[in-house]
Amino acid sequence: MEDSLIGPILLFPVALAVLCLLLGRASRAGLAVAAGGWLYVALLAVQLIPFVLGVGGRLPLLPGLALEKLGACFLLLTAVVVACALSHAHAFFSSERQSASSPSDRQVLLFYVFALVFLLSMSAVYICDNLGLLWVSIEATTLTSAGLVYFRRDKHAIEATWKYLIICSVGLAFALLGTIFLFSASQHGLADGGSLNISDLIQQAPGLEPTLMKLGFIFCLAGYGTKAGVFPLHSWLPDAHSEAPAPASAMLSGSLLNCALFALWRLLQIASGVPGSHFCQEMTLWAGIVTVVAASLFLVRQHGLKRLWAYSSIENVGLMLVALGLGSAPLFLLQAVNHSVAKVSLFLLSGNIIQLAGTKQLSELRGLWSAAPGWAALFALSALAVTGVPPFGSFISEWLILVSSFESRHWLAAVLLLLGLSLAFIAVCLHAGKVLTGSPRSEIEPARTCSRSVVPAALVLVSVVLGLVIGPDFLRAAL
């Protein structure tokens, strides 16, 4: 494997962003970005798949930067999510520009540029081997994605953007304070007087000061938990997902949330070797349980289509936190992959439906089977996939998280998790069923285009393949 090629490949989105600006037209830039996104995926796959399947567990890149197998998997997942969203964006914006509130050519161009810089900042998260650089990278994802939320430039977009920036920045200030506490904890165990290097901290974990370590983890959980949408720090997420255009919502849900959760996993790797680290895992697990239960209750009474899927994302964040609390990287990864695949499909389809109906209010969305049978079938399948119904891949990950909870003797947590998942399933089915059935509004014309069905259809197929290929026996071997 050519180690030196990883760095140049990760800078590819910057070159693509410059190309967009040089092209100057949104239609040309959309095609270039779609093709470039999949080229980026292919280049990463060539480099990362041999590394993931190989013997080595860590690949040093530059001082403070290194790649491990879990990070490589998330790096590739992020590239695929963004490529899917940008491929759909070309057809989405072509249709959007035929509406009354047509975005300008410059708005669409800036969307592509922000999306590519956003991809770069998310990719940086997974190669950070330094807690300071990790914090900087996650803060960068906030700043670069704010332009995506602000796309429509109206009062609702401004409100959602400021809410997103302020709440996440305050949360990340707590994460910065937690990082300072972790550095202070390292000064008690490392010969050189302290370090923020993650690899060094993992190796020297038994020598870290336990009280400062716990205090640092609490602040980091609050900070990065805010960015991930952990209850009750989630209030920015439904607004941002609802106001951003559908391709941006797909990236925010399918890739951004994973970044903050990956940061927590890196902290748990350090905490696992510190005396009394069970406290950190228990806190993470119960934060996940509370988030799943709270999100499932919010799902019952929702009025906006994209807000519905935003709260579903919060529920899945809770599931991934439970996997982290159980100390299972394979379960965390599998749940993240399954959620990303299903949720990207749902957000892209929801954008199609909102364009078709001219509204995002659930009370006004009816009769999708009559207006767009193809979209209706994909919408129904994607909704079932995100709730964990077999044979979709999310069924395997959710089932194994439940089984692991019972096997680790977290009886109350497992029961609450089961209740939360059941309530979420019922709520999503009820809301989706109302969208699919009934009579459409008279002004809705049947949709005849299939260009906006390609990416969601492919993602639904991937979800089914994951459910059939990755069975319990396969994953238990990885555990």
What secondary structure does DSSP assign to 112-170, as a single string? HHHHHHHHHHHHHHTTB-BHHHHHHHHHHHHHHHHHHHTTT-SHHHHHHHHHHHHHHHH
Cα 140 from Cα 134, distance rounded (Å): 10
Residue type for position 136: V
- The residue assigned the tokens 């081997």 is 129
As a whole number, mean pLDDT of residues 427-431 equals 90
**pTM of this structure:** 0.91
Cα 126 from Cα 136, distance rounded (Å): 12
- Check pLDDT > 80 for residue 322: yes
pLDDT-derived band at 449 (thresholds 50, 70, 90) equals low
Cβ count near 391 (within 10 Å): 14
As a whole number, mean pLDDT of residues 419-428 equals 91
Query: Does 318 fall in a domain?
Result: yes
- Check pLDDT > 50 for residue 128: yes
For 193, left (φ over 0), alpha (ψ -120 to 50), or beta? left
Peptide bond into 232 cis (omega under 30): yes
Running DSSP on this structure, what letter comes out for residue 208? S
As a whole number, mean pLDDT of residues 392-404 equals 88
Nearest-CA neighbor of 171 among 124, 215, 225, 216? Answer: 225
**Whole-number mean pLDDT of the chain?**
85
Query: Does 351 fall in a domain?
Result: yes
Span 326-384, pLDDT tens digits:
888 888 999 999 999 999 999 999 888 888 877 878 777 777 887 778 888 898 999 99
Q: What is the pLDDT of residue 1?
A: 45
Q: How many CA atoms lie within 13 A of 350 on its CB side?
A: 31
- Check pLDDT > 80 for residue 116: yes
Query: Does 479 fall in a domain?
Result: yes
Percent of the chain with pLDDT over 70: 93
Span 162-204, pLDDT tens digits:
888 899 889 889 999 999 998 888 887 555 677 788 888 888 8
- Check pLDDT > 70 for residue 2: no
Which residues, at least 6 apart from 306, have a Cβ–Cβ distance to it below 8 Å?
Answer: 241, 242, 246, 249, 347, 350, 354, 360
Q: What is the pLDDT of residue 315?
A: 92
Query: Does 111 fall in a domain?
Result: no
Query: Does 352 fall in a domain?
Result: yes
With 0-12 / 13-18 / 19 or more C-beta atoms within 10 angstroms meaning exposed / middle / buried, residue 386 is buried
C-alpha angle 331/328/255, rounded to 5°?
A: 50
For 229, left (φ over 0), alpha (ψ -120 to 50), or beta? left
- Check pLDDT > 70 for residue 472: no
Cα 217 from Cα 442, distance rounded (Å): 55
Span 11-39, pLDDT tens digits:
888 888 888 888 777 778 878 888 888 99
Exposure letters 246-255 (e unless 16+ CB within 10 A, then b):
bbbbbbbbbb
Domain that holds residue 479: 280-479
Q: What is the pLDDT of residue 338?
A: 92
Cα 276 from Cα 400, distance rounded (Å): 26
Q: What is the DSSP string of 305-361?
A: HHHHHHHHHHHHHHHHHHHHHTT-HHHHHHHHHHHHHHHHHHHHHHHHHHHHHS--B
Q: What is the pLDDT of residue 140?
A: 92
Query: Does 233 fall in a domain?
Result: no
- Check pLDDT > 60 for residue 478: no
- Check pLDDT > 90 for residue 262: yes
With 0-12 / 13-18 / 19 or more C-beta atoms within 10 angstroms meaning exposed / middle / buried, residue 463 is buried
Ranges 118-127, 229-238, 247-256, 443-452: which has the least confidence: 443-452
What is the chain's length? 479
- Please give the biggest Cα pair distance in the chain: 74
Cβ count near 374 (within 10 Å): 16
Span 72-112, pLDDT tens digits:
899 999 999 999 999 888 888 877 766 656 777 788 888 88
Query: Does 5 fall in a domain?
Result: no
Give the 3-state secondary structure of residue 59.
strand
Cα 458 from Cα 436, distance rounded (Å): 21
pLDDT-derived band at 56 (thresholds 50, 70, 90) equals low
Running DSSP on this structure, what letter comes out for residue 304? B
Q: What is the pLDDT of residue 479?
A: 43
Please indicate whether residue 54 or residue 129 has the higher confidence score (pLDDT).
129
What is the number of structural domains in the chain?
Answer: 1
Query: Does 458 fall in a domain?
Result: yes
- Check pLDDT > 50 for residue 266: yes
Q: What are phi and psi of 44, to 5 degrees?
A: -65, -45
- The residue assigned the tokens 């922000």 is 114
Ranges 76-90, 123-137, 244-258, 462-476: which has the least confidence: 462-476
